[in-house]
Amino acid sequence: MTDILQELEDRRAAARMGGGAKRIESQHAKGKLTARERIELLLDEESFEEFDTFVTHRCTDFGMENSRPAGDGVVTGWGTINGRQVYVYSQDFTVLGGSVSATHAAKIVKIMDMAMQNGAPIIGINDSGGARIQEGVDSLAGYGEVFQRNIMASGVVPQISLIMGPCAGGAVYSPAMTDFIFMVKDSSYMFVTGPDVVKTVTNEQVTAEELGGASTHTKKSSVADGAFENDVEAIAEVRRLVDFLPLSNREKPPVRPFFDDVSRVEPSLDTLVPDNPNQPYDMKELIHKIADEGDFYEIQADFAGNILTGFIRLEGQTVGVVANQPMVLAGVLDIDSSRKASRFVRFCDAFEIPILTLVDVPGFLPGTAQEYNGVIKHGAKLLFAYGEATVPKVTVITRKSYGGAHLVMGSKQLGGDIMYAWPTSEIAVMGAKGAVEILHRKDLGDADKIADHTQNYEDRFANPFVAAERGFVDEVIMPQSTRKRLCRAFAGLRGKQAKMPWKKHDNIPL
Residue type present at position 216 = T
Question: What values do phi and psi take at 167, rounded to 5?
Answer: -150, 100
C-alpha 162: how far from its chain's center?
Answer: 13
Per-residue 3-state assignment (H helix, E strand, C coil) for 83-99: CEEEEEEEECCCCHHHC
Q: How far is CA 238 from CA 55, 128, 220, 233, in A?
A: 28, 20, 22, 9
Our CA dihedral for 489, 491, 497, 499, rounded to 10 degrees, sits at 50
Q: Alpha helices, DSSP H only, in 319-431?
A: 335-350, 368-372, 375-388, 403-408
Q: Which helix (H) or strand (E) holds 361?
A: strand 355-361
What are the catalytic residues? 169-170, 404-405
Written as one string, the DSSP assignment of 438-506 is: HHTGGGTT-HHHHHHHHHHHHHHHSSSHHHHHTTSSSEE--GGGHHHHHHHHHHHTTT----PPP-S--
Give the single-character DSSP code of 213.
B
Cα–Cα dist 182/52, whole Å: 26
Helix (H, G, I), strand (E, B) or coil at 212: helix
Cα–Cα dist 324/399, whole Å: 10
Written as one string, the DSSP assignment of 37-61 is: HHHHHHSPTT--EEE-TT------G
Cα–Cα dist 143/25, whole Å: 29
Q: CA nearest 187: which of 171, 166, 173?
A: 166
Cα–Cα dist 89/315, whole Å: 34
Cα–Cα dist 397/425, whole Å: 6
Cβ neighbours for 76, distance < 8 A, ≥ 6 positions apart:
50, 51, 52, 88, 89, 90, 107, 108, 110, 111
Q: How far is CA 46 from CA 14, 196, 228, 415, in A?
A: 19, 43, 26, 46
Cα–Cα dist 134/90, whole Å: 22
